[in-house]
Amino acid sequence: MTRRSVTLVVCGVLLAAGGASTRPFSAAAATWVLVTVVVISVLAIRRNPTRSPGTPRVRRGLALWSPLLLAFAAWEAYAYVRQPDWMHPSDEHPTLSTLLDPGLEQLPLRFVGWLIWLGVGWWLVSR
């Protein structure tokens, strides 16, 4: 493992530990998520990735997954905005976080959930 890889793994574990220690649906949890997303996005944008060739397979995948991702993002935004109180989950307008919360109530599972979220996010922005 390179020094950069070790640094990324240590940072990911520390981020996951910090995020898992926050109370769900609190201002601290929302801030933790926002800061994490901004930092990883900035690192991904600064990276200047090489362009992949626009093969028909890539275009078909983009045509399929882009509308699905946009529909999911629109659903999440709609459900979040329609909640009576943004710091308390709503059964009438559940977001993905609300639906996953019963499975992530215990600290070890929240930590694993954060690790998975960070790993998938990093994989998506570093491709």
pLDDT at 57 > cutoff 80:
yes
Q: Output 16 or 53, whichever has higher pLDDT.
A: 16
Residue 48 banded pLDDT, cuts 50, 70, 90: low
Residue 127 banded pLDDT, cuts 50, 70, 90: low
Q: pLDDT tens for residues 85-95? A: 777 777 787 88
- For the entire predicted model, the pTM comes to 0.69
Query: Running DSSP on this structure, what letter comes out for residue 47?
Result: T
| Separation of alpha carbons 7 and 2, rounded Å | 9
Q: Which sequence spans correspond to the domains of the chain?
A: 3-45+66-126
| Separation of alpha carbons 88 and 80, rounded Å | 10
